[in-house]
Amino acid sequence: LSFENDLRTAFKLQQFEIYYQPIWSAENKIICFEALIRWKHPKRGLLTPDAFLNLIHDLGLAIELDYWVIDRAIQQVRKWKFINNEAAKISINVTAETIQNGQIVDHIKAALQREQIPANDVTIEITENTAMHNIESGKNTLNELKKMGIQVAIDDFGTGYSSLNYLRAFPSDVIKFDRSFVSDLNNQDINEEILKSLIPLCHRLNKKVVVEGVENRYQFDLLKKLSINGFQGFYLSYPVTVKEANKLLLMSK
Ligand code: G
Ligand code: G
Ligand code: MN
Ligand code: NA
């Protein structure tokens, strides 16, 4: 119960912080950052979302948190423009509730206007699972975002039970293959064959491909041969603070 109270006051006490994990091109340039929420708990230290996102939902704070991240992350993009304009782009995770609540479109519009950031610099990530449970309401919102010029990414792709259906039924610009495809590359050739088949399919459907969970050189070298647009994972960079992200942006110029 005290954890619950802590979470209720976390906004007011400014205990949330966004970490940023780069997404890299095959040429080792940063093409974008993914915003990842962390909670600096006064006693428990830095908490990752699996420790508190469920409770955030139960407390009815999910939309508030997503809006907070959207505002902060878009503000950060404006600052990054001065360091490395080319790489100053952001990918933001949002939950089902936020997609169902139609106001996300106006909320992002306002943030972009305030910071004078083109819509094209922003990607909204929804998990395949979220997409599945919100086909109708989700489709409308995503189409509106796309009309504005926002990119839509399907996160954790390949984990649902009818993944191929989303390629067809769901408006998206980017497919982020789930890290399970990458983690088993070493010992299961089947993942390589699946990637080799699905990546050209994504390109034929005009979608960019990102792989996540790249954890070692072996995986990165293998994946670089597969026409992948973006690479993400601990081998390339952990999620980092703004200060460290600034350094990476300078180095990546
Ligand atoms: O940062 P980490 O890899 O621990 O994230 C775990 C999960 O939490 C991921 O599935 C990610 O999509 C989700 N997540 C991270 N940051 C945010 C956020 O700002 N908003 C929402 N809704 N989910 C997030
Ligand atoms: O589901 P989503 O892609 O939004 O999840 C992002 C989460 O994945 C973050 O919490 C981040 O810490 C984690 N992550 C990022 N890169 C790697 C990686 O190479 N390996 C593993 N195991 N997790 C990663
Ligand atoms: Mn994500
Ligand atoms: Na993912």
Interatomic CA distance for residues 44 and 39, integer angstroms = 9
Helix (H) or strand (E) holding 2: helix 2-10
Interatomic CA distance for residues 190 and 185, integer angstroms = 8
Verify whether ligand 2 is closer than 6 Å to residue 93 (CB atom). Answer: yes
| pLDDT of the residue at 244 | 98
Verify whether ligand 1 is closer than 6 Å to residue 69 (CB atom). Answer: yes
| pLDDT of the residue at 139 | 85
Write the class of the CATH domain 2-251: alpha beta
The complex's ipTM works out to: 0.96
CA of 212 to the centre of ligand 4 (A): 7
> Running along the chain, 253 residues long, what does each successive block of 10 average in pLDDT?
91 96 97 98 96 95 96 98 97 92 93 98 90 76 94 91 79 94 81 93 96 95 96 98 98 93
| pLDDT of the residue at 178 | 94
Interatomic CA distance for residues 122 and 151, integer angstroms = 6
Q: Torsions phi, psi of 224, nearest 5?
A: -65, -20
Question: If you take atom 23 of ligand 1, which residue's CA is the nearest one?
Answer: 93
Verify whether ligand 1 is closer than 6 Å to residue 93 (CB atom). Answer: yes
Q: Note the residue count of the chain.
A: 253
CA of 155 to the centre of ligand 4 (A): 5
Verify whether ligand 1 is closer than 6 Å to residue 95 (CB atom). Answer: yes
CA of 36 to the centre of ligand 1 (A): 5
| pLDDT of the residue at 101 | 84
